Chain A
């Protein structure tokens, strides 16, 4: 037969468009991200066998491992990590599923407004939430405790934020709940309603339909959300640093930090030995991710969108009320407390005279380091907000719309990187910047970067890569290929197609990614704390420092600084949203549905789903 391919005569290169330069681009991308993600980890691993001080000639030995693992605290720290994660996941997951279901699938009031508030909650940096709840639940001066003490027969307020329940509570209030609600609502909303209706018609109650029809259908979406959470198990840092350290409660990341910052001289070796455990986690995450993405988990989106919402009847006001109560806890209460507390002479001391003062504000606003941190934060976060949507929309494009070889590997690297705790990659990068000698000459090319804002920019831009690419991927998949193919056939080159068709079509998502990355970088602590110098520290590092300073905490000041972080993120979110509404006017609400309808047949094009 004529059609038998002859070897070497042709290679299946790209999906459409880009020339065979694609292979080179892929190699570059994989190298850059591979180096960025893996080299710090490997560097740390290798250095864990080096007992010489940092910057000194190498001296190989296993003393670090002995030291690190002879310390029972290490195992306790690991156990604590899993315990905290386990408990808050156990609580937040069912809670988030219930809330997402109520918002997306029932006739609950103000559904879109409520959903938006969970976004707001997600955007409040963890450090601000932590400080806010410290103001409320500190055993000595916590405002809630104080208020309760006014009740008769109560001598002492019941809350102690410096405890395991306290830490878990703050996680739930930070983004453990809101992040999941945020990701699950769209999935629930896009579900094919007729499946649910079929359940109802077959005689199942609303509740039974939810359990037996809706939830099983949502399993793929929930699995992805769970995975996104799981890979970050070792990431959590600032909450434990503020609330756990005072009671000698350590988790993985704070333990590493302790080895470096609170040992004199810093014990990098032991930190490295502990950090090497991450390799094990990566070994588990990578295959799981491959398995997950190889399944048809995207096809939950159906073209036949019709909102047949469930009437909760008499339960409805209670459900709405419950969600609103949750939102108050998540957003309004901690922020209001931060604002109020910052004007109190001493937080929680209602009998101080005068009770209110502006002296903390004066102090902070006139602090040289505050001004410096504010500048750094603005530069850092703005750069991230601009660079990341462009960069990640291109990479997500590669993931979805090309058949390039190596894209699975690149995506795998992204998933792996999420598993590398910020504190650890920070440590690795510190090494990379300071230079090292592996026995074949000294490497210190990146030394000029050390302590500069460029190093920080690099770290925070790349920090949001997994979430960003996953979000944009979803949009590309939903839009379908027709929009692009029509442009190519109409004579537009790849670049023109990208900027004239894709960018406007995915503009709302790009703006979302920009906002998200702004927030991530404004709130970053663990990933940059080791790289930032006194001159390049951000507001969140500054606030963390004020909360954990050895010479005594400056609570009110920390509160004010964290308010600035919140303020920045909220302003940016509002401005970008405005901007987004202007640019993407026509497909903000009405036409996004039309788009869905138009491109519905292409949504499930298996070629785009399955490389």
Chain B
């Protein structure tokens, strides 16, 4: 599946919902469109489904053109032969499970015997054997989703579209369905375009993530790359959490790796990748982006700060189950959230030392590093 230069502006909106977006999805691959609400990811998916008309750009399924805006060519949704799971599942309440799932086959005017055979098979596959006669409204959320999946897959489409399919499920069921969808996708070897605002879902399910904001893809790549080498602040702050330290560049290596000293902790030097197209100069002040798991929190081991440590004071400790989240005031820094092990709790007001992993961090020019995560709403 190929999306080329798709753009879409809703009437009455000054900014485009999707702006010159291109993306390739290969057979057997799960590509996730990730982003905050209103970033254009759902619009993109709906343009693929044929539920929205792009202002410009083209879409191809294999070699088959689906939309070529320049020629005014556009296949209606019913001719695109794809499967889609809606956020609300859209299980038709006036039909039974069987009728819901058989609907796409009947649209194809298939033989009755074959229809019931395929419906039975797909219901078996999604884990709903024997539920054929159950009316739509009498299903639980998880069952509704399975029916929606069965309905989307029953015609054996090459492309499956998933529009936030897990957002209406409770946390436990969500994890379970995530795994089931992944297994199902591997088994059927189909291309999946998946839309979500949940980064955990995106990271765990996808072969590749396209992180979107303001209708533009900010970065596309393997989940690991997005996490470890974010292309910009938005990616850094949207994918995973980041602890920001103020610091200054000690040595700018032409290869891009910088050594940076942390402000207020003269003995602490870390290494990281620099994110400024113009390059960094020695002595320039920067923000250092550190993933929370790369910071270790320890009770202060004395009045003298050990080498390589950053001193701080715990302002509040929040027990969240598998770990404790500390709000730590660090000398000459912002207050920051640091994760600690639950077996060694530290009291409020306790003095602590923070130990940073020596490398693998990121450095950002301090004059444009506004923590975007503060602006991103998650729904």
Contacts and interface: CB of A to CB of B under 8 A. Distances in A.
Interface of A: 1-6, 9-13, 16-17, 480, 482-483, 485-494, 496-497, 500-501, 504-505, 507, 584, 586-587, 590-592, 594-595, 598-602, 607, 610
5 contacts: A492-B78, A493-B107, A591-B136, A598-B91, A607-B10
B127 interface: no
A366 B280 CA distance: 105
A3 B57 contact: yes
Nearest to B161: A489
B83 interface: yes
Nearest to B79: A491
B104 A482 contact: no
Contact of A598 (B55, B69, B80, B90): B90
A431 B115 CA distance: 59
Contacts of B108: 491
Contacts of B91: 598
Contacts of A16: 50-51, 76-77
Contact of B90 (A12, A485, A504, A584): A485
Contacts of B12: 610
Contacts of B6: 3
A1 B22 CA distance: 13
Given A3-B57, A598-B93, 11 more contacts: A9-B56, A9-B69, A17-B77, A485-B49, A486-B90, A489-B50, A489-B77, A490-B103, A490-B107, A492-B78, A598-B90
Contacts of A13: 53
A10 B72 CA distance: 6
Contacts of B76: 16-17, 488, 493-494
A378 to B, nearest CB: 31
A431 to B, nearest CB: 42
Given A3-B55, A591-B93, A595-B93, A486 B84 contact: yes
A602 B84 contact: no
A482 B144 CA distance: 14
A599 B136 CA distance: 13
Contacts of A483: 90, 92
A594 B137 contact: yes
Contacts of A1: 19-20
Nearest to A20: B72
Q: Which 9 A-B pairs have the closest CB atoms?
A: A3-B7, A594-B137, A591-B137, A482-B90, A486-B90, A491-B107, A490-B104, A488-B77, A3-B20
B139 to A, nearest CB: 9
Contact of B53 (A3, A12, A482): A12
B342 to A, nearest CB: 36
Interface residues of B, number: 51
B88 A482 contact: yes
B218 to A, nearest CB: 17
Contacts of B136: 586, 591, 594
B72 A9 contact: yes
Interface of B: 5-7, 10-12, 16, 19-20, 49-51, 53, 55-57, 69-70, 72, 76-84, 86-94, 103-104, 107-108, 135-137, 144, 148, 151-152, 155, 161, 168
B70 to A, nearest CB: 6
B356 to A, nearest CB: 41
Contacts of B77: 16-17, 485, 488-489
B82 A489 contact: yes
Given A3-B55, A489-B49, A587-B137, A505 B92 contact: yes
B88 A600 contact: yes
A168 to B, nearest CB: 45
Given A3-B57, A490-B104, A586-B137, A601 B88 contact: yes
Given A3-B20, A16-B76, A488-B51, A586 B94 contact: yes
B49 A3 contact: no
Contacts of B144: 598
A485 B57 contact: no
A490 B107 CA distance: 8
Given A3-B7, A488-B50, A489-B77, A584 B104 contact: no
A9 B70 contact: yes
B195 to A, nearest CB: 13
A494 to B, nearest CB: 8
A505 B103 contact: no
Contacts of B93: 505, 586-587, 591-592, 594-595, 598
Contact of B103 (A10, A12, A485, A492): A492
- A486, A490, A505, A610: residue with the most chain B Cβ atoms closer than 10 Å: A490
Nearest to A403: B11
Contacts of B78: 488-493, 497
B16 A3 contact: yes
Given A16-B76, A590-B137, A591-B93, A489 B70 contact: no
Given A490-B104, A590-B137, A591-B135, A485 B88 contact: no
- B79, B82, B135, B148: residue with the most chain A Cβ atoms closer than 10 Å: B135
Contact of B88 (A9, A480, A490, A497): A480
B107 A598 contact: no
A248 to B, nearest CB: 55
Contact of A492 (B70, B86, B107, B152): B107
A3 B56 contact: yes
A17 B148 CA distance: 22
A9 B155 CA distance: 34
A485 B108 CA distance: 17
A595 B137 contact: yes
A493 B57 CA distance: 24
B111 to A, nearest CB: 16
A586 B135 contact: yes
A2 B89 contact: no
